[in-house]
Amino acid sequence: MTGLSRIWRSIGLMIVAALLMGIGPFDRLPGARLVGGLVDGPIASWRFVEKAGQCQLETRPQYPHSVTVNCWHLDGQLYIGCMNCQGKVWSHYVAQTKLARVKIASLVYPVILERITDPEEMALSWAARWDQLGRARPVGKAPEHYWLYRVSSR
């Protein structure tokens, strides 16, 4: 085994060990409990999420399951979007309990998720996400398989 192969194998083993020990998600791989400083208080404005890029979401509090998600704000209101969400494990858990935790940068926030189906709110939020990504206008319509969640601190 070459030196480079050993390095990659070691990195892989560290990632697997971290996931087995209950550390949050890694890129597209799900994880368990989110680790970070806990912010235990209401958040009036989530505008700071602009600098975070993606967030990590922990669902199913009794046996945590975490994933990496797209998050953004619209006028300070936090949103999480989900493409092809119907068959995803985490959306199933959110349907069972709206209680969750979201990690932004190194801090973890207890939250409540509410699925939004109102066409107007979906269009405004989709446009805000489009803008955050720096995509040119006009904004296309959100796909039919797109689910939107409004996030509130608890």
In the prediction, which pLDDT does 137 show?
75
Q: How far is 25 from 1, CA to CA, in rounded Å?
A: 29
Residue 34 pLDDT > 90: yes
In the prediction, which pLDDT does 13 show?
59
Specify whether the CB–CB gap between 122 and 137 falls below 8 A: no
What average pLDDT is seen over the chain?
Answer: 88
In the prediction, which pLDDT does 6 show?
75
* DSSP secondary structure string for all residues of the chain: --HHHHHHHHHHHHHHHHHHTT---BTTB-BSS--SEE--S--S--GGGGGT-EEEEEE-TTS-EEEEEEEEEETTEEEEEEETGGG-HHHHHHHH--EEEEEETTEEEEEEEEEE--HHHHHHHHHHHHHHTTPPSSPPPPPTTEEEEEEEE-
Could you tell me the residue ranges of all domains in the chain?
3-153
134 or 97: whose pLDDT is higher? 97
CATH number of 3-153: 2.30.110.10
In the prediction, which pLDDT does 144 show?
87
Q: Any idea of the CA torsion for 88, 42, 53, 77, to the nearest 10 degrees?
A: 80
In the prediction, which pLDDT does 130 show?
85
